[in-house]
């Protein structure tokens, strides 16, 4: 703008000297406007042009680094099956149809091929050696058997992901962490209960913290059963009730069983079969309830047959019946070993998380394979098994500065349990405790067997 005013001033002086005001003044204005527009436009557009050139060249270099060039790719795969196809006159060499970057960690390559999936799997090692990258798995299109897709890992999974509330899902979902395919989630509608297995220091308690945080942010009623007196969950003291003695724990589990049956009766009256439909049809809103058990073996470590029977029966009933009514069990296991938990419980807890174990047996028990024993020694690195199996870097949770909404879970308990939870522990006043009982006796380590699940 200043340059334009200066040029207009010069044009006015020239017009005055030559005493031809109008033509020179008009010509000066036109020239000044054109020059000023060109200059200012160039100033504005130049950074944009430079940015486009930078994006083009850096993107080209990036993809040149991460993706095998098409010509080399096609030539290699045409030669890979050459020997096998010589004996089959109808066989066709694999043709690359498309490639797609699914996430920052993985690339897919789709082929048209007449070679069976079994043969592709036999060649997997050769493909990895040629690409110098890990082939995650090879998939055959169910509707088009001649379509084969390779999923190739182009860079390793990151080793730490700090939890941020922006990761939280709006639905009834717990975000667990990140795999090479993206978010790994526990959908409470589909998988109402979960086991979280891991050795000391694996990050198991951190996973439970992250799930408790999400449950509170979603305004669920949260109950924590932790016979270590809740010391690992101190950040939630003002928002949840911690149970760590048998009498109140038995009461709270029995109350959840009664709540489950009462909700099923309400569902039958309204002609619905799940919590979401019931809440949409009635003004009597029912909240989700999530019971976290930090160490299941510690809970079941009692010689009192009556108490043990109630605990087993309550957990079994909840895993079997509470799927649709919005009552969920998240159970931590430090070291699964053999068969004490009933088949009903095992069959109804399909969502499994397993951290790294030095020996293979715990991984086989939880996941049906020894894959967890091959995990790198990275805190928070777990295998998650749902419909498929994923290697996951779980979120690292840090306490939030924002207050949590007050849980209503205590209000639904029997009066006896409510009174017991009001007694404060003298060593740590922040932790709510129950009255001491004579049932608190230890027996052998509870062991688990999940071998009945399909691999």
Model confidence at 308, pLDDT cuts 50, 70, 90, reads: confident
- Does residue 263 have a pLDDT over 90? yes
- Does residue 14 have a pLDDT over 70? no
Q: Per the structure block, which two tokens stand in for 362?
A: 């715990």
pLDDT at 451: 46
Question: By C-alpha distance, which of 445, 193, 443 is closest to 337?
Answer: 445
φ, ψ (nearest 5 deg) of residue 33:
-65, -45
- Does residue 212 have a pLDDT over 90? yes
Rounded Cα distance between 315 and 330, Å, is 11
Count of beta carbons in the 10 Å neighbourhood of residue 450: 22
What torsion, rounded to 10 degrees, do the Cα atoms 289, 292, 298, 299 define? 0
Q: Which residues contact 343 (CB under 8 A, 6 or more apart)?
A: 452
Rounded Cα distance between 113 and 146, Å, is 5
Which residues sit opposite 187 in a β-bridge? 173
Flag the least confident range among 112-121, 266-275, 429-438: 429-438
Model confidence at 436, pLDDT cuts 50, 70, 90, reads: very low
b/e string for 182-212 if b means 16 or more Cβ within 10 A? eebbbebeebbbbbbbbeeebbbbbbbbbbb
pLDDT at 386: 84
**Residue range 283-304, pLDDT digits in tens:** 888 999 999 998 888 787 778 8
What is the domain partition of the chain in residue ranges?
2-66, 70-153, 161-433
**Residue range 239-262, pLDDT digits in tens:** 888 998 899 999 999 999 999 999
pLDDT at 161: 92
Q: Higher confidence at residue 428 or residue 275?
A: 275
Q: What would the CATH number be for the domain defined by 161-433? A: 3.40.50.300
Model confidence at 52, pLDDT cuts 50, 70, 90, reads: low
> CATH classification of 70-153, choosing from 3.30.980, 3.30.230, 3.30.450, 1.10.1060?
3.30.980
- Does residue 207 have a pLDDT over 90? yes
pLDDT at 186: 95
φ, ψ (nearest 5 deg) of residue 45:
-80, -30
**Residue range 333-367, pLDDT digits in tens:** 887 766 556 667 778 888 999 999 888 888 888 88
Are 279 and 211 in contact by the 8 Å Cβ rule? The answer is no
| Global pTM value | 0.70
N-terminal to C-terminal alpha carbon distance within the chain: 73
Strands 173-179 and 147-153: unpaired
- Does residue 318 have a pLDDT over 60? yes
DSSP class of residue 99 equals E
Q: Which residues contact 431 (CB under 8 A, 6 or more apart)?
A: 229, 230, 231, 234, 237, 242, 425
Strand (E) or helix (H) holding 260? helix 246-270
Which residues sit opposite 108 in a β-bridge? 100, 151
Note the helical H segments in 67-170. 70-80, 82-85, 117-122, 124-131
Placement of tokens 């110098």 in the chain: 132
């Amino acid at each position: 703008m200043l340059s334009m005013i200066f040029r207009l001033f010069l044009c006015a002086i020239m017009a005055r000297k030559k005493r031809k005001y109008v033509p020179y003044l008009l010509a000066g204005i036109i020239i000044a406007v054109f020059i000023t527009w060109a200059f200012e436009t160039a100033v504005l557009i130049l950074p944009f042009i430079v940015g486009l050139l930078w994006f083009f060249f850096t993107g080209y270099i990036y993809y040149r680094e991460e993706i095998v060039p098409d010509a080399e790719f096609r030539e290699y795969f045409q030669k890979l099956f050459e020997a096998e196809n010589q004996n089959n006159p109808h066989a066709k060499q694999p043709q690359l149809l498309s490639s797609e970057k699914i996430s920052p960690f993985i690339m897919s390559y789709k082929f048209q091929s007449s070679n069976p999936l079994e043969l592709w799997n036999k060649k997997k090692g050769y493909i990895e050696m040629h690409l110098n990258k890990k082939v995650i798995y090879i998939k055959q299109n169910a509707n088009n058997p001649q379509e084969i897709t390779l999923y190739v890992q182009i860079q390793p999974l990151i080793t730490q992901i700090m939890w941020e509330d922006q990761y939280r899902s709006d639905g009834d979902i717990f975000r667990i962490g990140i795999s090479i395919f993206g978010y790994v989630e526990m959908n409470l509608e589909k998988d109402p209960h979960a086991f979280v297995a891991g050795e000391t220091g694996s990050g198991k308690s951190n996973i439970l913290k992250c799930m408790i945080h999400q449950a509170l942010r979603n305004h669920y009623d949260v109950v924590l059963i932790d016979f270590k007196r809740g010391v690992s969950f101190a950040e939630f003291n003002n928002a949840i009730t911690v149970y760590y003695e048998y009498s109140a724990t038995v009461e709270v589990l029995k109350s959840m069983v009664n709540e489950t049956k009462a909700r099923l009766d309400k569902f039958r009256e309204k002609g619905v079969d799940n919590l979401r439909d019931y809440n949409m049809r009635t003004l009597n809103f029912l909240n989700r309830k999530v019971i976290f058990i930090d160490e299941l073996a510690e809970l079941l470590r009692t010689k009192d047959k009556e108490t043990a029977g109630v605990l087993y029966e309550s957990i079994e009933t909840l895993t079997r019946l509470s799927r649709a009514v919005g009552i969920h069990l998240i159970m931590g296991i430090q070291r699964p070993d053999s068969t004490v938990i009933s088949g009903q419980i095992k069959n109804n807890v399909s969502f499994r998380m397993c951290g790294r174990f030095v020996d293979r047996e715990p991984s086989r028990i939880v996941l049906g394979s020894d894959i967890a024993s091959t995990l790198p020694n990275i805190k928070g690195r777990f295998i998650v098994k749902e419909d498929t199996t994923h290697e996951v870097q779980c979120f690292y949770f840090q306490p939030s500065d924002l207050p949590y909404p007050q849980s209503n879970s205590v209000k639904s308990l029997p009066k006896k349990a409510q009174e017991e939870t009001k007694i404060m522990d003298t060593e740590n006043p922040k932790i709510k405790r129950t009255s001491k009982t004579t049932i608190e006796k230890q027996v052998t380590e509870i062991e688990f067997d999940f071998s009945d699940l399909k691999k």
